[in-house]
Amino acid sequence: MKRLLAGAAVLAAAGGAGVAGSAIGQGTGGTLGAKAVGKQTVEVRIKESSANFGANCPDPKKSVRECERDESPRIASVAGGNGAIYVDDRKVGTAYFSNVVAKRGKSGADLFNATLVFSDGTITLQGSSLYAQEDNQTNSITGGTGAYAGARGVEAEEMAPGGSRREFRVKVTLTFIS
C-alpha cells in the first residue's frame, strides 16, 4: 500500500498551539473552529515500525511487509498508522490515519480518513486518492472538536524533505474556509 497519510507507506497533543503564538487553525482570521480562516502548515513524521504503521492484506499468501510495499494491492486491503505532528521542529500533536483500497492497479484508488489530535481539539480529514496522482494529495477538512468544532476546508499533502530510510515526512497544509 503505497499511500500513508500523504501517499505512501499517508497524518495527541503535547502542548497544543501552532506558529508565532497562534493556534493551529487560527490562520490570519483570528478565529478557530467553524469561523477559522487562513492556512496552517504542519509536518507529519511517520516512522516505519509495527508501532506506527500496519497493513491488513486480504491475500493470505503475502506477508504484512509484502502487502505494505505492494504497488497493486487487492481491493479491501487496509493500512493504518500514526505519526507525530510538528511545527518548526516542535511536536504539537499526533495524526492517526487509515486507507482502504477501493480500486486495484496502477490507476487504482483508495479511501482515506485521518484525525489530527491537538491539546485543544481534533481536526478530521476525509478523501480519496488516485495512485497516479499520489505525489500531491488533497482531502476535505470535514470537521473537528474543541477549538476546531465545525472546521471546514481543504487539506493538501506532499512529501517533505529531511526524512530517512525508516522515517518519512509529509508536509500538510490546512486551508480553512468559512
**pLDDT tens, 146-165?**
888 888 899 988 888 887 87
With beta carbons less than 8 A apart as the criterion, state whether 23 and 32 touch: yes
Whether 58 maps to a domain, the answer reads yes
Task: Judge whether 92 lies within some domain.
Answer: yes
* 133 pLDDT tier (thresholds 50, 70, 90): low
Instruction: Name the percent of the chain lying above pLDDT 70.
Output: 73
- Tell me if 8 is assigned to some domain: no
Residue 4 counted as domain residue: no
Structural domain boundaries enclosing 132:
33-176
Structural domain contains residue 20: no
Helical spans, DSSP H, in the chain: 64-68
In a domain, 2, yes or no: no
Model-level pTM greater than 0.85? no
Burial grade of 50 (CB within 10 A; 0-12, 13-18, 19 or more): exposed
pLDDT of residue 136: 67
Q: Which CATH number goes with the domain that contains 82?
A: 2.40.480.10
Query: How does residue 85 score in pLDDT terms, banded at 50, 70 and 90?
Result: very high
Contact 114, 107 (CB under 8 A): no
Q: Does residue 53 lie in a domain region? A: yes
Which whole number is the average pLDDT over 27-37? 51
